[in-house]
Structure 1
Amino acid sequence: MRYHHDGPPRLTLMTMRNVGSGRGAHTSLMVNASERVIWDPAGSFKHPSIPERNDVIIGVTPQIEEYYISYHSRATFYTVVQELDVSADVAERALRAVMSHGAVQKANCARSTSAILKSLPGFEHIRVTFFPETLETQFGKLPGVRTREVREDDSDDNAQVLYQIQVSPLR
Structure 2
Amino acid sequence: MRKPILILALCAALAGCAAPQRPDADPDTIAAVRYRDAGGPSMTLITVVNNRTGQGGHTALMVNASERVIFDPAGSFYADVVPERQDVLFGISPRVFQAYRSAHARETFHVVTQEVALTPAQAQMAYQLVTTNGRVPGAFCANATSSILRQVPGFEGIDVTYYPVKLQEQFAQFPGVETGKYYENDSEDLSAGLEAGNASLNADTGS
Same fold by TM-score greater than 0.5? yes
Q: Which residue type is aligned with residue 9 of structure 1?
A: P
Paired position in structure 2 for 1:125: 157
Paired position in structure 1 for 2:172: 140
**TM-score, normalization by structure 2:** 0.79
Paired position in structure 1 for 2:190: 158
Q: Which residue type is aligned with residue 87 of structure 2?
A: D
Distance 1:88 1:26 in 2: 27
Paired position in structure 1 for 2:115: 83
Paired position in structure 2 for 1:51: 83
Q: List aligned pairs for 1:1-171, cutoff 5 A.
A: 1-163=33-195, 164-167=199-202, 168=204
**TM-score, normalization by structure 1:** 0.95
Number of residues of Structure 1 aligned to a counterpart in Structure 2: 169
State the 1:159 CA deviation.
2.4
Query: Cα RMSD between the aligned structures?
Result: 1.1
| Higher percent of residues as strand | 1
Runs of 4+ that moved beyond 3 A: none
State the 1:141 CA deviation.
0.3
Q: Which blocks of at least 5 consecutive residues in structure 1 are unaligned?
A: none
Q: 1:67-86: CA deviations, max 9, x gaps?
A: 00011100000111101001
Distance 1:70 1:166 in 2: 12
State the 1:160 CA deviation.
2.8
Paired position in structure 1 for 2:4: none
Distance 1:65 1:166 in 2: 11
Q: Which blocks of at least 5 consecutive residues in structure 2 are unaligned?
A: 1-32
State the 1:60 CA deviation.
0.3
